Amino acid sequence: MLNRIIVMGRLTHEPELRETAAKTPVCSFSIACDRDFKPKDGEKETDFLDCVAWRSTAEFVSQYFTKGRMAIVDGRLQIREWTDREGGKRRSAEIIADHVYFGDSKPNKENGEKEPPSYTPELGPDEGLSGGFDLPEGFVPDLDGDGGDGGDLPF
């Protein structure tokens, strides 16, 4: 099965960083994503999407993103079912963010905005080949262990 979502939008409020009982960081935020088309009345519509980031990604978002900043969120869609105070069954959708990237240019320090790092936070060993850092263009990992000289590869 495949459950992958990538969205780009602006944060609608300041990210909220919390910790679970086990001291695991979790950050909640939402982004506003404009739709690519306009309905017949000419007004562009916007979707407001709730996002949740965990661990180092949660800390990264809470430290470097603020209301209004453009973010690219890469993750999976999760539907949660819950019961409201009146006992009614409810459902809500949220994006569980695996990676969050800057979608706009560097902030202006003169306006008091936070300066982001030039890399994404370091991720765990199961969270991507690059370990959270941008790889050089054209990078090909040495999978056969021959030192990267290509050995007997035909290309």
Beta strands in the chain (DSSP E): 5-11, 16-19, 25-34, 46-54, 70-83, 89-102
Condensed to tens digits (0 to 9), the pLDDT of residues 112-135 reads 555 555 444 454 444 444 444 555
Record the pTM: 0.66
Q: Which domains does the chain have, with CATH numbers?
A: 5-111 (2.40.50.140)
Specify whether the CB–CB gap between 65 and 71 falls below 8 A. yes
Condensed to tens digits (0 to 9), the pLDDT of residues 72-117 reads 999 999 999 989 999 999 999 999 999 999 998 866 565 555 555 5
Task: Give me 104's structure tokens.
Answer: 């706009």
